[in-house]
Amino acid sequence: MPGQSGSATMNELAEPLLQVKGLSKSFAKRYLVHQSKFSLQNISLELYDGEVVGILGESGSGKSTLANIITRLTPFGEGQIFYRGKEIRSHSASERFEYKSEVQIVFQDPYGSLNPRSTIRNSIKEGLRLHQPQLSRPEMDERVDGLLSSVGLASENSNKYPHEFSGGQRQRIAIARAIAVQPTLLICDEPLSSLDVSIQAQIIELFASLIEEFRLTMLFISHDINVVRLLCDRVYVMSDGRIVEFGKTSEILNNPGNDYTIKLIDSVY
């Protein structure tokens, strides 16, 4: 495979935080829908501690399916996923619970990912109650206030409901909720694409500061080459359910080896 630079040196340093090996997933064939568009074929990727890794691909390439599989929202067929060296399908109930707290996700659509009947304070606290029950109530509230200020929202907003916020604010809340339980791995599935241009820039700046502040390990899924270029250390390029190229972001984007990547880069304004 082309573009393996970078990973060799890291291999010597440590074992990957997350390793996906030969992952495949196919959906039942639907009427008039081309099957291969909706499946993953032989996906392998590695994610090391403290890295921000991009997954770049067009719609239908399987990026979101991959995110859902890693977060265990969708079951998968063949292949293995190792988290800290342990296969996630062999997790015991308690290990699985812990995995779900350590791996958090921010979805594309900030309108659909918050519970409309719960104040945002409660939405953020829900994860804390579940995964860090040792915290007292005032501690939790303090934590929520701190999280809200990390994502640039005033704490007096915390007793409002999601519909009272704009799209960009909701995405900030979704990010606050995801980082509330201090995850080791944050998966962002197209977190910018439903936002306005000026708000996208705000969220990019927010991610940059959070990466610095919390030393997040992040899997950043996007179709936007320029955003991946800004945020990610390494990138995997996906097309039609396969990984066609991977390596250091600067090398792949400045010097793509794969036809699909070249086409993708050429089409960006």
Partner 1 sequence: MPNSPSPTGNAERNAILKLEGVCVALAASRKTMVRNISFSVRPGEIFGLAGESGSGKTLLMRTIFGLHDDAFVEKGRMTFKNTEFSSSEHRRRVRKLLGREIGFVPQDPFSSLNPTMRIGRQIREALYLGKGISPKSAEAGKTTLELLKEVGISEPATAVGQYPDQFSGGMRQRIVIAIALSQEPSILVADEPTTALDAYTQRRIINLIIERSRNRNLAVILISHNLELLRKNVDRIAVMYGGQLFNILASDEIGSSASHPYTEALFKCIPRKDMNLADIQSIPGEPLSAGYGAAGCAFSSRCGLRRDICDTSEIPVNASLEQEFDACLVRAGRRP
The greatest distance separating any two alpha carbons of the chain, rounded to the nearest whole angstrom, comes to 56
| CB 137 to partner 1: min, Å | 32
Binding site for partner 1 (CB under 8 A): 32, 58-59, 166, 168-169, 196-202, 204-205, 208, 223-227, 229-231, 263-264, 266-269
Looking only at the bridges linking them, the beta strands covering 234-239 and 52-56 are parallel
Residue type, 27: F
Smallest distance, Å, CB 17 to partner 1?
Answer: 23
Residue 61 or 217: which CB sits closer to partner 1? 61
Smallest distance from the beta carbon of 243 to partner 1, in angstroms? Answer: 18
Kindly tell me which of 219 and 227 has the beta carbon lying closer to partner 1.
Answer: 227
Minimum separation from the CB atom of position 265 to partner 1 (A): 9
**Shortest Å distance, C-beta 202 to partner 1:** 4
Half-sphere exposure in the Cβ direction for 55 (13 Å, CA): 28
Closer residue to partner 1, CB minimum distance, 87 or 205: 205
- Say whether 104 sits in a helix, a strand or coil: strand
Cβ proximity to partner 1: between 94 and 267 the closer is: 267
Beta strands in the chain (DSSP E): 18-25, 40-47, 52-56, 80-83, 86-87, 103-106, 185-189, 217-222, 234-239, 242-248
- CA 15 to chain CA mean position, Å: 20
- For helices 167-180 and 120-131, angle between their N-to-C axes, nearest 10 degrees: 20
Q: Please, which residue, 223 or 248, has the CB nearer to partner 1?
A: 223
